Amino acid sequence: MANPSDHYSKFNAVAESRHTLRLNRRQLLATATGATLTLAGCSRPSAEKPLTTKSRTDIPLRITMVGSDEEAEVISRSWSSIHEQPLTITTIQANRAGGDPGTNVAQGQADRLIDRLIEQTHQSDLVIYPLWAVPELVAAEAIIPISDEQFKEMETQTGDLYSAVRNGAARYAGEFFAMPLGANQPALLSTDEVPVMESWEDYDRWVADDLKGNANEPLAAGWAATMFLWRAASTLSQGWLFTRDDFQPTLNTEPYVDVLQQMAKTAARYSPKRQTPTQIWTSIQNGQQRGGIGFAATNNASDVEVNVSNLPGADDNKRIFLDPYSTLVSLSATCRQSAVSKRWMDWIAGGEGSDAIRRQVSGATSIRTPHQSELSSEPVRQSGYAAWLTERLQTPVTLPSLQLFDADAYYAALDTAIGKTIDGKLDAQAALDQVAQQWEVITTRIGRQKQLSAWGRAQGLRA
C-alpha cells in the first residue's frame, strides 16, 4: 500500500492511467446494498447522452480518482464482492509535496493538477479527489450538489456522518457536494503513558525530558504546512488565516509566529527531523521512537498498544481543522447512471463490503455512526487510534481548509516556508512574512473578491 506521503505527485506533473476491471457477478449480495435512490438532475444531459436512472449492469461506472493504481485495484476488488457493476477507474497520481513555488506563484502552474482533474471529471460518473479542490470543481460545474433530502436518504442507508466531516467536508456553500471518505486527525502517541498537557510548552518539555528527543511529528515535505495549521487550530481561539472583510492574510501576525517558533523549537529535538505520519506510527510501534504526534497508518488493530490522546489545547479549543488532502467523492455533472452512482457513494463511505478500503487505502477512515445492521453484528476489533478518532470527529465546529482557487499554490507556499524554518534556514517571522507576500501575489492574480467569495462559501455562505 502506498505511503500517505506518496499519495500525490508534484502539483505541476501529473500522470494518468486507465485501470479497468470487469468484475465478478454477485447478484445475491447486490440486492443487500440498499434501495436505489434516483438523484434528480444528476447532470445537464445532452440529446446524445441521456441520463440513465435505472441501474445498468452492462455499462461500466466511470470513476476519476486522485490516487494510485494499487488503491484503485483495492476499491475495484471490494466492490466486485457485493455488486456486478463493472468499474472503469482513471487514476491521476499526485504527490502532496510540491516544489518551491517562489518562481511561479504570480503566473500560476502551466499544467495544474486541478485542470486535469476537471477535464477527467467531465468524462466520468464520479470523482474521488482532495478537499482543497472543491471550489474549482464547483465553479467549473464539474460536480453537482445533492439535496438535503437526498443526502439524508443516503445517510439512512449507511449511517449519519460525524459532525466534523459533515460540516467541514461534505458541505460547501450551504449545500452537500460530497461524501467524505476519511479525515485523519493528529493525536499525541506513545507506548508509554501520555501525561496531561495543557500547552505546547508542556509538549516540548515531555519531548525533551521524558522522551529524550526520541519522538517526532509530521514535518516531511507536504506535511509540514498541515502540522503547522493543526497546531494553530489547537492554539488560536478566534480568527483564521485571513481577515473577514478584505481577505488579507493574517498568518504573519504574532499568534501564528508564536506557534511556528514553538514548533521549530521542539522540532530541533527530533531525530530525524522530517517524517511522515506513517513513518512516525511505524517507528513507535516497532520501538524505534517512544512517542510524538501522528495517526495510525491503517485502521487495523495492532498487538502493540499505542496510547492516544488530544493535542495540547484541543480540550479547551473546540474547533477542528481538516487536512486539505482529506479525500472526498462527488457525483460528476455528466454522470450517466445516477442510481448506481449514488449507491456506490453510499458503499465506499462505509457500506457493506468496504472495510478493506479503510484498511488499505491511505486517508480512508471511519466517518459515520454505525448503521443499525452493523450494531447487531459481531464487533470488529479496532485500534485505539480509530476509537479516539471516532470521538474527535464529533467536534461540531470546523475551520475552513484552504478551499480557495489555486489552493495547492497557497498550500505549497506555506509548506515550503515551514520546512525552511524547521531546517533552520528562516526564522518564524521571516518565513510567515514570505508566505503572506506570496499569498497576496496569488490572490491578486486570481482576484480578491473571487477568493473572498470562495472563502465565505467554505464557511457555509451561499453567496
The string of DSSP letters for 139-153 reads HTT-B--B-HHHHHH
Contact 384, 115 (CB under 8 A): no
Looking at CATH, the fold of the domain delimited by 187-323+399-458 is given as: D-Maltodextrin-Binding Protein; domain 2 (3.40.190)
pTM of the shown model:
0.85
The pLDDT value recorded for residue 34 is: 40
Q: State residue 281 phi and psi, 5-degree precision.
A: -60, -45
Grid coordinates representing 83 are: 455488486
- The Cα 405–Cα 367 span in angstroms is 26
Indicate if the pLDDT at residue 126 is higher than 70: yes
Indicate if the pLDDT at residue 53 is higher than 90: no
Q: State residue 329 phi and psi, 5-degree precision.
A: -130, 135
The pLDDT value recorded for residue 299 is: 60
Q: Which CATH architecture has domain 4-183+324-386?
A: 3-Layer(aba) Sandwich (3.40)
Higher pLDDT among residues 50 and 400, named by residue: 400
Contact 187, 385 (CB under 8 A): yes
Contact 169, 322 (CB under 8 A): yes
Strand partners, 189: 292, 308
The pLDDT value recorded for residue 158 is: 80
Indicate if the pLDDT at residue 4 is higher than 70: no
The pLDDT value recorded for residue 40 is: 39
**CATH topology agreement for domains 4-183+324-386 and 187-323+399-458:** yes
The pLDDT value recorded for residue 271 is: 84
The pLDDT value recorded for residue 304 is: 80
Grid coordinates representing 305 are: 498498544
The pLDDT value recorded for residue 339 is: 84
Confidence of residue 39 (pLDDT cuts 50, 70, 90): very low
The pLDDT value recorded for residue 305 is: 86
Helices 338-348, 148-158: axis angle to 10 degrees equals: 50
Higher pLDDT among residues 111 and 433, named by residue: 433
Confidence of residue 154 (pLDDT cuts 50, 70, 90): confident
Give the residue extent of every domain in the chain.
4-183+324-386, 187-323+399-458
- The Cα 353–Cα 324 span in angstroms is 27
- Contacts of 296-302 spanning 24+ positions with Cβ under 8 A: 296/184, 296/383, 296/385, 296/386, 297/4, 298/1, 298/358, 298/359, 298/360, 299/358, 299/359, 299/364, 299/365, 299/366, 299/382, 299/383, 299/386, 300/359, 300/383, 301/381, 301/382, 301/383, 302/383
The pLDDT value recorded for residue 116 is: 95
Grid coordinates representing 234 are: 489547537
- 126-130 and 171-172 beta bridge pairing: unpaired
- The Cα 263–Cα 207 span in angstroms is 12
Higher pLDDT among residues 147 and 353, named by residue: 147
The pLDDT value recorded for residue 303 is: 72
The pLDDT value recorded for residue 381 is: 57
Contact 311, 186 (CB under 8 A): yes
Rounded mean pLDDT, 177-184: 95
